[in-house]
Amino acid sequence: MMRPFAVIPMGCRILLLLAGLRLSPGTYADSEPTDPEVGALRSQHGCELKYEYYQPRSLVPLATLILAHGFMRDLSSQRGWAQQWLDYNIATVVVSFCNSTVFNGHHQRNADDLITVREHLSIESTVYAGFSAGGLASYLAALRDEAAIGYLGLDSVDSGKLAINEPAELDVPALFMLAPASSCNARNNIMPTIERHGYAIEVYPNARHCHFESPFDPRCGWICGKSKADVVAVQTQIFDSATAWILATVEAERRTFNQ
């Protein structure tokens, strides 16, 4: 089903959503720092798949994300988002892929592995999220996994046209958060998929591809280009908007379930 193509204004939307959900930073924060559950399991394709599972210590989480890293990176490049989401009672599993090589990202295999991790941890419903090529793997997983309740793309790319060549579209809420076109996000080559299906999109003019990793790696800017904008300000904007969308998505899912 086609939906109208949506570019969502950011600043006012964030404030309205947080106000509507009666949330503020730290509303659901843990009273103590929480160490992740660290584990490993065998991939469907034979290699060892590692993960860290960040769970609020004292509360049942409002949402659970499965979060994928970019090409030839690992879970440490997304660990910062997981730690911050604990303050909003959002659990996150960050995964290190094991099938990718310099010559082949094996994004379909990575999608299989994201689903394998969800099943291994007995997570009944999840928002699949991912950065860059990890955003592609998460998209493919969300298309196939009935446990998906949403998709969050962090400057996703469409390697090998895997996304645009998928005949199906997501039947759950989706938000694609993008930096301006650059070589590192494949010149926004995920846009044909977004436009074809009318998925929601937010573009961050001051962001670079590297801003969608947390913790921020300044070395990334050597390749992907530097921004004059303050790193903390840009990443705060990304985080606040993503968090507002996640909480609104799970609230809508809860209301639908209770009808």
Q: Is the dihedral of CA 107, 111, 113, 117 positive or negative?
A: positive
For β-strands 48-54 and 37-42, DSSP reports them as: antiparallel
Q: Which residue has the higher pLDDT, 253 or 65?
A: 65
CA-CA distance, 54 to 48, in Å (whole number)? 20
74 falls in which pLDDT band (50, 70, 90)? confident
- Among 9, 8, 156, smallest CA distance to 69 is for 156
What is the model's pLDDT at position 259? 65
- The domain limits of the chain are 6-258
CA-CA distance, 259 to 257, in Å (whole number)? 6
Q: Is the pLDDT of residue 11 over 60?
A: no
What secondary structure letter does DSSP report for 170?
-
Q: For 169-202, what is each residue's pLDDT tens digit? A: 999 999 999 999 999 999 999 999 999 999 999 9
133 falls in which pLDDT band (50, 70, 90)? very high
CATH 3.40.50.1820, applies to 6-258: yes
Enter the pTM of the model.
Answer: 0.86
What is the model's pLDDT at position 14? 36
User: Which SS3 state, helix, strand or coil, does residue 148 take?
Assistant: strand
Burial class (CB in 10 A: 0-12, 13-18, 19+), 152: buried
